[in-house]
Structure 1
Amino acid sequence: MSLDFDPSSLSIPKGHHIGGRYIDFGGEPIEVRRPSDLQVMGTLEDGGEEAVEAAVQAARQALKASNWSKIAPIERARVLTRFAELVEQRSLDLARLEAANSTRLIAETTVRDAARTAGTIRFFAEYCDKLEGQTTQTQSGILSMVRPEPYGIVAAIVPWNFPMITAAWKFAPALAAGNAILIKTSELTPYTLLLLAEIATEAGLPKGLFNVVNGYGQTTGAALVRHRSIGKISFTGSTATGVAIMTLAASHGTKPVTLELGGKSPQLIFADNEDLDALAAKVAAGFMGNGGQVCTAGSRLIIQRKIADELVEKIEARCRAITPGPTWREASDFPPIINEKQLARIDSLVQKTLAEGATARVGGSRLETRNEGSFYAPTLLEGVTPEMTGYQEEFFGPIASIHRFDEVEEGIAMADHPTYGLAASIFTTDIKKALLAAEQIESGMVWVNQNGRGPEFTFPAGGFKGSGFGKDMGRVGIETYTRQKAVWINYAA
C-alpha cells in the first residue's frame, strides 16, 4: 500500500487550543504554507499576550479543579497511557499532517515521528510513580526529607524541524511530573501540536492542562517567557534565540530554563573502517537527513587521510543520487527547506564561505526541481578553515565541510568546536579510539558508529557550551520538570 496522499484532503485544525477547545482572539493572521510547494495550507493568528493569559488562566484553573499534581501517580499514568493509545490510533492522521506541514517525509513520519511520539508519552507515563525523594542523615528526633514537586505551570517553545517529537519530549514528562503545560508552536508548523492537544482532551486529560498557543517568537513566545505565573521554560531552537529567552526569563521572575540549541557537530572517521560503502551511507545521512535541518547534523566531516579521498568520492556520489520531491510522496527521499527565507539564509552562508576561499566539491546552490518548494542541493565544501563563516555558523541545511587528519589525537582535537558542543559521531572499529574520543570531545551527546539517536527513550538529549544546557528524555527528562523541596521535621521538640 502506497503512503502517498493528497495534502489538500487533510482536515486542518484552526485556532489556539486552550481549555480543551479551539479559540481565536482576533490577532494578526499568519499564513501557514506547505514547504513542498509553498501553497497556503491554512491561516492562524498571532495570539500574543491575550492568548498566553487565557492559557495561563485555563492551566491554573485545571490544576486546582483536577488536583492533577496530588492525585495518585498511577491515575496520572492511566490518563497518559490512554493518550499514547489514542496517538497510536491516530498515527496516520498525525503522520500526514506532519509531512504536509513540515519538511518531514511521509516515509519517515509514519514509522518514526508518530510512533515515537506515542512511545515518549508511554515512557513518561510509566515514570509517574517512580519519582523518588530521599531522607538525609540527621541526629535523633529529626526527620530530614527532600521531596520532588512540580513547578505548576511550565511553558515549552518548540521548533519547526521536528515539531511533534520535540514537543512530546517536553509535554509528556511535564504532565507526568504533575504540571500543566503551555506550548508555543512554531508559526511555520503548528498543526500536529494542535491535533495532539485535541487528542489529549479526548483521552481524558483535564481540560486546561495541555494548552497550545500560536504566534511569533517575539510576541507570543516573549509573552510566555515574561509571564510570572509560569514556573519553568523549555526551549529548543537557535543559540541566538536561546540567549534571548534566558535573558528575558532572568528579568521576569528568574525562572529556570532548559535550552537545546544549535550545533556544528563533527563526524570523526578513523581509517580502520573497512566497508566504505556502508560508512558513506551513514555519514551522508548524518548531514543530509531532513534536508540537513537537524540541530545534531554531522556537518563537519573529519576523516583520517588514509581513506579520505575514497570515502569522500562515495559521499559525493550519494549527494548526487537523491530523489527530491514533495513530502507527501513515498518515493521522495530528500525534502525541501522549510521556506524561502531559510533557503536564502543557507545560500548566503555558503556563498560567503566560498568567497572566503572554500570550494564546493558538489552542490553549493539552490536545487532546481519540478516542484515549487525550496530545495537546496547537498553540498560538500573543501578548504573550510576556522576563521571562515562555514566553520563558525550553523548552516541548518544539507551542507558539510571536509577536513583531513593523520594522527588520532589530531583528529580528536579537530572534532571540538570553540562555540558549539551538542553532538558528535565517531566511526571506528577500535574500542580504545572510540572511548578516548568520547571522553575528550566536549559534547553533550556522543554516538559511536552511527549518527543520531536510536529509537530508545532512555538516552538524554542536550548539549554543552553554546549548544545549551539541561536535558530532554531519559530519567533526567522528567526530573527537570520537578523542583526539590527540603523538609526538616523536629519531632522530638
Structure 2
Amino acid sequence: MTLESFDPTAVRYPATNFVQGTVLAGDADSYEILRPSDGKLARVEQCASVELVDRAIQSARLAFRKSGWAQRAPRERARVFAKWASLVVEHASELAQLESVVSPRLYSDAHMWDINNAAELIRFSAEAADKLEGQTLATAADALSMVVREPYGVVAGITPFNAPMALAVTKVAPALIAGNACVIKPSEFTPYSLVRIAQLGHQAGLPEGLFNVVSGSGGSTGSALIKHPDVDYVSFTGSTTAGARVMADAALAGVKPVSLELGGKSPHLVFDDAGDIDTLAEMIVGSCTRNAGQVCFTGSRLVVHKSLADRLIERMRAIMVDIRHGPTWDVTSRMGPIMSEAQGRRIEDILARATDAGTRVLTGGRRAETPFGGVYFEPTILLAATSDSPAVREEFFGPVLTVQTFSEDDEGISLAGHPMFGLAAGIHTKSLERALRAARSISAGSVWINHYGPVPDYNSPFFSPHKQSGLGQEGGMPGVQKYLKSKAIRLKHGFFA
C-alpha cells in the first residue's frame, strides 16, 4: 500500500475521555491542543475533573469486581485480545492520523511502526495469558504449599506525548491480560489515538469499564488519579522530575507499588574496531534524530575512539545535512517538529549553558528555518570539553548528539557511564570480549551490541532502567508479571471431609 499525505484540517477528533464504555468530554479547566507541525489550534479541550477521575476509577473497580474478566479462562481473554489487535490494524490510517497530527510522530512512522507495535504488543500479551504461572513448593508430605499470582485490581497509567499510542499500549495490554482493570491518563496534548484504542478494545469484547481513559494536566488530573485510594498500582512513563512527583503522590496516598520508565542520556560506545563507518554513521544519526530526538532511549551521546572520531563525525554531518524537516502529515518529511515552544526553549537553554562551559558546536545548534510554523530544530553535533558539561549530563529531548573521545578501553567505558541516567547503551565493536566487558561495566538496563534500539521480539524487556532512569520493567514477560502480586497458600492435610 502506498501511503499518502493527509490534510490535518480533515481529521475528526473524538472526545478526550473514555469512561465505562462511553466517550466523554472533559468537565474542568479548558486548554488548547496545538498541532506541533504548524503551531495551529487543533481543538480546545477541558481537563477531566477530580469527579470524572473518581468516576473512571469506580468504573474500573466495579469492572474488576463484577465483570468476571480476571476469572475467565486465559485463552478466552486471549481471544478478545486477538480481535482487538485485528481492529487496531484495520483502523491503521485513522489511528496514525490521530497520533501524528497532535504529536511529533511522523505519519509514516506511526503508520508503519506504531500501529504494528501496538497490535503486536496486544498479541504478545494474549500469548502470555496462559503462561502466568505460580509455584508449588517443597514441604512436608502431609501439606501442600504453593504461590499463586493475582491481579492487583485497578492499575493507573500515565504516559507522555512523544509516542502516545505505543507507550500506552505497553502498559494497558499487559495489565489487562493479567486480569486488572485500567485507568490511563495520556498527555493532555495527545489524547485522541488512545481514546480510539480504548473504543476498539471495548468493541473487541473488553467488559464495560475495564479500560478507561481520562485526559488532563499532570498537576490536576494526574495527581487525582495517583492519589486515589482505589488505585492499586501506578505505572508512569515520563521525565525523571515528573517521576519523582509521581512517587511522592503515591506515597502520600498510602503504600502502593509504582513502576517508572523515565529519562535517559544513552551512549554509543564506539571502539576502534567498530567496522563500517557509513553503516555506523547512519545508525547513530538515526538514533539521535528519530522523532526529532524526542525518545527516552535516544542515543544522545557518542563516546568514540580518537582514531575514528574525525571520519565518523564528518560522515554524520553529511547525513544530517540531507535530513528533510517537514510536517508530520507529509509523507516526504524525514524529521518532524519539536513538541512545543517550551521544549524548544529548553533545548536552547541547555545548549547555551553548554557552550558557555566550553562545548563546541560542530554542526546545527539552532532552530531550522522552515515555512511550516511550529518549532523545528537542526540535527546537532556537539564536542564536549568535559564530562561536567550540561551537554553530557542533561537530557535535551531533541536531535542533539554530544561527542566525547577516548584512547584506552577503560577510559571509553568510564565515559559511557552516566552519573544520573541508566536507561540504555549501544556498544560497537568486532571483539566479543570487549563487547561483553563493556556491557557488564555500563550501568544501563538495556545494552545493544552492534545495533541500537529495541527490536520487535516482544519476549524480552524493552527497558529495565537503572539509576534515576526508573524502576521496574517495560515489555516482555516481566512487563506482564509486574501487574500480578504473589500470595503464599499452605494447607494441612487431614482436616477435610
Q: Describe the superposition over 1:124-146 as per-residue Cα deviations: whole angstroms up to 9, x where unpaired.
A: 01111111000111112111110
- Determine the structure 1 residue equivalent to 2:489: 487
Counterparts of 2:170 and 2:18, CA distance in 1: 19
What is the TM-score of this pair, normalised by structure 2? 0.97
Counterparts of 2:23 and 2:376, CA distance in 1: 34
Stretch of structure 1 that moved more, 320-329 or 453-462: 453-462
Distance change (3 Å), C-alpha of 1:261 and 1:100: same
Counterparts of 1:369 and 1:313, CA distance in 2: 24
- Determine the structure 2 residue equivalent to 1:470: 472
CA contact (8 A) 2:99 2:192 kept: yes
* 3-state SS in 1 of match to 2:453: coil
Counterparts of 2:457 and 2:100, CA distance in 1: 23
* 3-state SS in 1 of match to 2:436: helix
* 3-state SS in 1 of match to 2:129: coil
- Determine the structure 2 residue equivalent to 1:332: 333
Counterparts of 1:78 and 1:475, CA distance in 2: 19
Aligned residue pairs, count? 493
What is the TM-score of this pair, normalised by structure 1? 0.98
- Determine the structure 1 residue equivalent to 2:417: 416
**1:50-89 alignment to 2 at 5 Å?**
50-89=51-90
Matched residue type, 1:99: S
CA contact (8 A) 1:269 1:301 kept: yes
CA shift for structure 1 position 25: 4.9
Counterparts of 1:91 and 1:364, CA distance in 2: 36
CA contact (8 A) 2:29 2:47 kept: yes
CA contact (8 A) 1:271 1:428 kept: yes
- Determine the structure 1 residue equivalent to 2:209: 208
Q: Describe the superposition over 1:213-238 as per-residue Cα deviations: whole angstroms up to 9, x where unpaired.
A: 00000111111110111110000110
CA shift for structure 1 position 388: 2.0
> Does residue 393 of structure 1 match 2:382?
no
Stretch of structure 1 that moved more, 115-124 or 73-82: 73-82
**1:306-385 alignment to 2 at 5 Å?**
306-385=307-386
* 3-state SS in 2 of match to 1:128: helix
Counterparts of 1:480 and 1:26, CA distance in 2: 33
Q: Describe the superposition over 1:434-453 as per-residue Cα deviations: whole angstroms up to 9, x where unpaired.
A: 11111111100000111211
- Determine the structure 2 residue equivalent to 1:230: 231
The structure 1 segments of at least 4 consecutive aligned residues displaced by more than 2 Å after TM superposition are: none
Q: Describe the superposition over 1:309-355 as per-residue Cα deviations: whole angstroms up to 9, x where unpaired.
A: 11111111122221000011111001100011111111111111111
Matched residue type, 1:446: V
* 3-state SS in 1 of match to 2:130: coil
* 3-state SS in 1 of match to 2:32: strand
Stretch of structure 1 that moved more, 145-154 or 349-358: 349-358
CA shift for structure 1 position 3: 2.2
CA contact (8 A) 1:292 1:398 kept: yes
CA contact (8 A) 2:275 2:429 kept: no
**1:148-187 alignment to 2 at 5 Å?**
148-187=149-188
CA shift for structure 1 position 100: 1.1
Structure 2, unaligned stretches of length 5 or more?
none
Counterparts of 1:363 and 1:355, CA distance in 2: 16
Counterparts of 2:26 and 2:243, CA distance in 1: 28
CA contact (8 A) 1:25 1:50 kept: no
* 3-state SS in 2 of match to 1:126: helix
Matched residue type, 2:393: Q
- Determine the structure 2 residue equivalent to 1:448: 449
Stretch of structure 1 that moved more, 427-436 or 119-128: 427-436
Matched residue type, 1:22: V
Counterparts of 1:384 and 1:234, CA distance in 2: 38
Q: Describe the superposition over 1:463-493 as per-residue Cα deviations: whole angstroms up to 9, x where unpaired.
A: 1001011001101010000000111111235
Stretch of structure 1 that moved more, 311-320 or 112-121: 311-320
Counterparts of 1:457 and 1:71, CA distance in 2: 24
Counterparts of 1:23 and 1:274, CA distance in 2: 55
**1:160-309 alignment to 2 at 5 Å?**
160-309=161-310
* 3-state SS in 2 of match to 1:455: coil
Stretch of structure 1 that moved more, 48-57 or 334-343: 48-57
Counterparts of 2:409 and 2:392, CA distance in 1: 21
Counterparts of 2:95 and 2:26, CA distance in 1: 26
Counterparts of 2:203 and 2:410, CA distance in 1: 55
CA shift for structure 1 position 64: 2.8
- Determine the structure 1 residue equivalent to 2:106: 105
Q: Describe the superposition over 1:216-268 as per-residue Cα deviations: whole angstroms up to 9, x where unpaired.
A: 00111111110111110000110011111111111212100010010110100
Counterparts of 1:409 and 1:145, CA distance in 2: 47
- Determine the structure 1 residue equivalent to 2:32: 31
Counterparts of 2:379 and 2:49, CA distance in 1: 38
CA contact (8 A) 2:26 2:49 kept: no
CA contact (8 A) 2:327 2:337 kept: yes
CA contact (8 A) 1:3 1:106 kept: no
* 3-state SS in 1 of match to 2:69: coil
- Determine the structure 2 residue equivalent to 1:458: 459
CA contact (8 A) 2:143 2:490 kept: yes
Counterparts of 1:353 and 1:338, CA distance in 2: 22
Matched residue type, 1:444: G
Counterparts of 2:388 and 2:440, CA distance in 1: 26
Q: Describe the superposition over 1:42-82 as per-residue Cα deviations: whole angstroms up to 9, x where unpaired.
A: 23211131121010111122223311111111111111111
CA contact (8 A) 1:154 1:231 kept: yes
CA contact (8 A) 2:364 2:381 kept: yes
Counterparts of 2:423 and 2:470, CA distance in 1: 8
CA contact (8 A) 1:384 1:390 kept: no
Counterparts of 2:358 and 2:439, CA distance in 1: 32
CA contact (8 A) 1:384 1:402 kept: no
Distance change (3 Å), C-alpha of 1:2 and 1:79: closer
Counterparts of 1:491 and 1:215, CA distance in 2: 54
Matched residue type, 2:409: V
* 3-state SS in 2 of match to 1:129: helix
Stretch of structure 1 that moved more, 436-445 or 455-464: 455-464
- Once the two structures are aligned, what percentage of the paired residues are identical? 42
Counterparts of 1:452 and 1:48, CA distance in 2: 38
Counterparts of 1:112 and 1:274, CA distance in 2: 28
The CA RMSD over aligned residues, in Å, is 1.1
Counterparts of 2:149 and 2:203, CA distance in 1: 29
Matched residue type, 1:93: E
Structure 1, unaligned stretches of length 5 or more?
none
* 3-state SS in 2 of match to 1:484: strand
> Does residue 434 of structure 1 match 2:435?
yes
CA contact (8 A) 1:302 1:414 kept: yes
Counterparts of 1:384 and 1:143, CA distance in 2: 64
